[in-house]
A and B are shown apart, each in its own frame.
Chain A
Amino acid sequence: MNTIDHHWQRFTLKQKLSRYAVYLVLVIAFVQSIQSVEVIPEFLLDAPEQMADMFSRMWPIDFAYYPVAVHDAMVETLNIATLGTLITLIFAIPLALMNASNIVNSAWCHWISRFFLVSSRSVNSLVWALLFVSIFGPGVIAGVLAIAFRSIGFVGKLLGEAIEEVNMGSIEALKATGASWMSILLKGYWPQVLPAFFSIVLFRWDINVRESAVLGLVGAGGIGVVLDDSMNLFQWDRVAMSLLAIFIIVILAEIVVVNIRKRLI
């Protein structure tokens, strides 16, 4: 018997070939893109100089601008993020219920809910904001709705997965007592998904704080409007003030979310 020739291989030939095919496609795509993308090398060369110029214009940060415009805009930004997250729930909870196979057992419902969830996620929040600005005009309402519609896909998908993971024992026990549909949802599913629900919503809120800071660039309210205005006027010291405010708020939001999640889970 010759055992020497049968040395161990981690992957089969087919696995190896398909892996190499992926690498090959990646390399081809990369080379092709590098060759055809329109990049002007001179621009890259003087980038450090331009960067230095930008930061030197930013430097004495215009702190006096904070009480004038930045403070109100920051509060508005936080309100857009929070209200948007709350409005999302109105749409996301029914879609999540429809998407969970242990609640609704119909392929049609799954396809409908999945369609809404995927299209909500595919369209970026700035694009949603553009759409809502052209419907409701520039202002806060467009920002709130843009945040809400962008978050539906995220919250709905994760919440649906959390619902699918519940322990069915207590649900069956409730069913055996003859509980109504509503009480099964409220007393059977809800307590089990509660921690997941809060952590998903908080996580999305954290993302929404970041996103609502830029919605103003297309006119949907918040700190972005102030940022856009001072950029168009080349007041880089005020731009720096707005960026600093955004930076602090984002860090604070992350700290708050991490702390609440630690308590909840």
Chain B
Amino acid sequence: MASINSSQNRENPFKQNWFVTAIWLLIICYVAYSFNAMGLSWERFNEGLGHASNLLGRMVPPNFSRWSLLMSGLIESLEIAVISSICGIFISLFLGLFAARNMMPNWISTPVRTLIALCRTFHPVIIAILFVKSVGFGALAGILTLVVASVGFIAKLFAEAIEEISLKQVEAIRATGAGFTSIILFSVMPQVFSRFIGFSTYQLDSNLRNSTMVGIVGAGGLGGTLFSAFQRFDYDFVAAILIIIIALIMFGEFLSNIVRSIFR
């Protein structure tokens, strides 16, 4: 009887995965290449660190003395976020329904899907530039930008949510002889409503973040105040604005959690 040889035929339970190893090697090569191509170097980074401590030192007592300027920018940002979220959600309700492939024939859903994808392709800042050119500086450009951004994001999610519903309830309502509007209101909406609320609160949140940013290209709100403070090297005022922005966003998250728990 052959003795059991424990040293042979003993496979390593953790085999080397050559594919993954190759990916890691590729990544390392890429990092070396890109550092070279973009001229990044340790000296440059080190030099920056000195500036960083200088900058932080100048930011440290945040300067809240220009309170009225800060508040007017903040209120404008809030207004942009509220108006654009509500308009965007309202438009997305219809576009999402039209883009759902189980509710609509192909010749309606395909163009609507393309439109939604087009809204999502460009970064809000680029859309803001185009709107600033066409409607001038100010809050209107910001509102239009964020409406487009909201449509690109939530209309897609709405459409996906509607495509995932169970069609049995739709059939049941249709069997009672209900019209199209009643089918939507009483069989589709109850199934997707709580998810819609989730997406909408998320969008309100992200519009709040973005409304503090579109001002950088002149579309109104706190971003413009922030950008001009940066250009005037008023870093203590910059620190005050950043604190306000973070506080605003945390407050927004707190509110959307409350709304989500109400509609659960």
Contacts and interface: CB of A to CB of B under 8 A. Distances in A.
Interface residues of A, number: 58
B210 A124 contact: yes
A76 interface: yes
A18 B263 CA distance: 9
B129 interface: yes
A221 B130 CA distance: 21
Interface in B120-152: 121-123, 125-126, 129-130, 133-136, 138-140, 143
A26 B27 CA distance: 48
A5 interface: no
Q: Interface of chain A, helix or strand or loop or mixed?
A: helix
A18 B262 contact: yes
Contacts, number: 144
Contact of B250 (A82, A118, A213): A118
A134 B246 contact: no
Contacts of A127: 212-213, 226, 242, 245
A251 interface: yes
B86 interface: yes
B245 A122 contact: yes
Contacts of A243: 122, 126
Interface centre among A33, A36, A43, A123 (most CB of B within 10 A): A33
B10 interface: no
B179 interface: no
- Interface centre among A37, A39, A134, A135, by most chain B C-beta atoms within 10 angstroms, is A37
Interface of A: 15, 18-19, 22, 26, 29-30, 33-34, 36-40, 43-44, 47, 50-51, 54, 75-76, 79-80, 82-83, 86, 118-119, 122-124, 126-127, 130-131, 134-137, 140-141, 144, 187, 210-211, 213-214, 217-218, 221, 227, 231, 243, 246-247, 250-251
Given A29-B82, A44-B135, A130-B227, A123 B246 contact: yes
